[in-house]
Structure 1
């Protein structure tokens, strides 16, 4: 490999991975420091209402994601993948900076809560555009024979961002008294997120545009002999023409997003609050399981480049469905069992997560590849991923002892929908994306 090629690859991987990690970090630290945000940016007269309002604003970020998917998907397909990626990370960093600098409720009253809401809306817009843009760009830049392997960078880098935010929270909470954390310590991760975002923005500004996008634009704008007007078509028309692929994106995503948010993100909190496992031990079990997840991702990606996307997707969907109840029953009240159960589930979840960016990109032609993924993906994550933790806890309240079983059946049904959708796909391993 020549030095220019090596430099190009490094810029692509580091720029995409660093920006994606920053976005996931920004998204996760809000939940990590929600209790401190509630005490500083909402009225202290009713602490329970303040905390619920903080969580409601967290949910607003999910609501904004479909709009972000549309805006940045349009930018990605009309202006360029690089432009969309750069704007996404810049906007996310602006939201993080705004949260870090928001005055307290005691200083400006309800204005503090409004500023927080606006900042989260900004981050929701950015995150709605980040994943589809990054997935499309990385898939188009990857060699066809290694697209599955390269695609695994998306979830790997994102999980690194989440883990870093979690560990930073643990370090700050240990090093600072609670009064200091409440006063200003909780702001540090958000201000760091703004700095990290600025670095990622510079990295992305130095990346090259996808050759597939540039060649596709040139072809799209070419003048046809006898017709001096370039054949521009409506983006909405192009998108509507691929409604089947949009439904396939939803089918592939519903089970993955719920399973990931449950086993990769919210299960430690569920174990702490419902199963009464020690908080510190449960959090470390979650960290260990996510490290297993990161290791598994590229292995599944490489396997899909050898045996195909469909077998790996089927292994993931069916394996996750079969493992769900045994893993749930295995946890009991032990942090060690929690870590093992999470690891087992995340190994199967990693099979889908690792290659989904490649699979999505292989479904759509270049002209609508970003927005074609962005809109159905964001809607699906908002509707299913955003409610996963709420339903997991809610079913236990509404159905009593049978709640976990009801939630398990719900998740398994969604996972099997994903497996059925995988069966409907044409095998796309190694295809030339320029022919789509």
Structure 2
């Protein structure tokens, strides 16, 4: 009687690339990308924390204070208006020659322009040349950030498995938010350590000088990043966009452009109004000390960073449409409570602002929605064009529009955010319905 031979052990099936977990290389890429993004975004937004000081230094002293601040907000807005040009140029070469090169160039330009602001002479020294130079530096900052943010989202989304794209975009957005937090903390420190006279004399230059140093540190860090596997594969297969990527986007992906611009509009409202402008709102409209408003802003921004990661992870589980719709409802409720109660109850300001910041983290769903709206061959250009054009229009005009509206409506900030939240609910609902329809029509074997 023969004994059957022992069966050979069966080798485990390899994990499909789409379902693999995050590797150590993925985590390293996300960490370096988020850190570099944080330092560059700090450079871009530190400007808004010193609007009052810059208005006094770079414009005629006999100008009314409100007009001087409006002029500086106009310079601030100019950084947004030039973003599409910088974004289109960098995205073109990013889709043609590689993501990493443009990813590094953008932060180099930001570092140079931020250091430039730190050494600018004031209006008292060189007259009208001072605001013109300030405007020039701000335009360079805008061009740099126009390539940085969309490039970063595409870069990390092409490095990780598809089922972790939401988490990757959320972590990257968290990094950008940490840049805002860093700006808030340093602005708080400057206002705490120095007297108003010292700040106007010289101390306002310190955060811009630090920003330049941060920028060059980021350039160094990005030496360790690798080109994305998706771009390498497209290049090897000769599947890169033929002709102008922007032409392809406009001719073939119009609905994706409109969708991306709408969700970016919500993002601009949440970041520009709630995070960047609200401290100055409570100072000027309700007389709350700058130290308290900036402390509350720091708490809100910290929770915003956490909220971005949560929203990104939820997108991987439930889809971007559902996260956007539900998050927008919560955003409307939180913002209305903040602006109606925060001014009359300063003792609750930190708590209210912190809760609102966490809910603002809903914007972590925005990059997930955008990077999935375009094919890889034109992803950089599609996201960059849509995001930057929308930010130029809405991010650039929002500070002046809501600032002017405050003169006739004390709750202008609250009403604007409720309207934007309603937009988020509509877009999120449409995305959810469309996703269900696509899933229902797909063959059973390929449904998610």
Give the TM-score, by structure 1 length. Answer: 0.86
Alignment match, 1:17: 34
Q: Distance in 1 between matches of 2:188 and 2:357?
A: 23
- 1:252–1:418 contact (8 Å) kept in structure 2: yes
Shift of 1:47: 5.9
CA distance in 2 between counterparts of 1:403 and 1:101 reads 36
- C-alpha displacement at 1:45, in angstroms? 4.1
How far apart in 1 are the matches of 2:220 and 2:318? 37
Aligned ranges 1:131-150 → 2 under 5 Å: 131-150=149-168
Partner of 1:180: 198
RMSD: 2.6
The answer to whether structure 1 residue 241 and structure 2 residue 252 are counterparts is yes
Aligned residues: 415
2:375 maps to which of 365, 380, 395: 365
Please name the residue that 1:88 is paired with. Answer: 106
Q: Deviations over 1:214-272 (max 9, x none)?
A: 211222369xxxxxxxx934323321211111111112222232133222222222222
Give yes or no for the alignment of 1:315 onto 2:305: no
- What's the secondary structure of 2:61's corresponding residue? coil
1:332 Cα shift? 4.4
**Which segment is superposed worse, 410-419 or 363-372?**
410-419
Return the offset for 1:364. Answer: 0.9
Kept in 1: contact 2:184–2:297 (CA 8 A): no
1:42-82 Cα deviation digits (max 9, x unpaired)? 33343635443322211111111111221121121112111
Shift of 1:401: 5.6
Aligned residue among 46, 51, 68 for 1:34: 51
Structure 1 residues not aligned, in runs of 5+? 223-230, 430-436
CA separation in 1, counterparts of 2:23 and 2:413?
49
- In the alignment, the residues of structure 2 paired with residue 403 and residue 293 of structure 1 have an alpha-carbon distance, to the nearest angstrom, of 22
- Structure 1 residues 316 and 402: alpha-carbon distance in aligned structure 2, compared to 1, 3 A threshold: closer
Any conservation in 1 of the 2:114–2:212 contact (CA below 8 Å)? yes
Which residue of the partner structure matches residue 276 of structure 1? 287
Tell me, what secondary structure is at the counterpart of 2:366?
helix
Cα distance between partner residues in 1 of 2:166 and 2:416: 31
For 1:347, which of 347, 358, 361 is the aligned residue?
A: 358
* SS in structure 1 at match of 2:226: coil
Q: Which moved more, 1:310-319 or 1:161-170?
A: 310-319
For the pair shown, the structure with the greater C-alpha radius of gyration is 2
Q: Closer, same or farther in 2 for the Cα pair 1:51/1:273, shift >3 Å? A: closer
Deviation per CA, 1:110-165, whole angstroms, max 9, x where unpaired?
Answer: 32222211110000111111111001001111222222112112221122111212
Q: Please identify runs of 4+ aligned residues in structure 1 that moved more than 6 A.
A: none
User: Any gaps of 5 or more consecutive residues in structure 2?
Assistant: 1-21, 440-448
Would you say 1:232 and 2:242 are equivalent positions?
Answer: yes
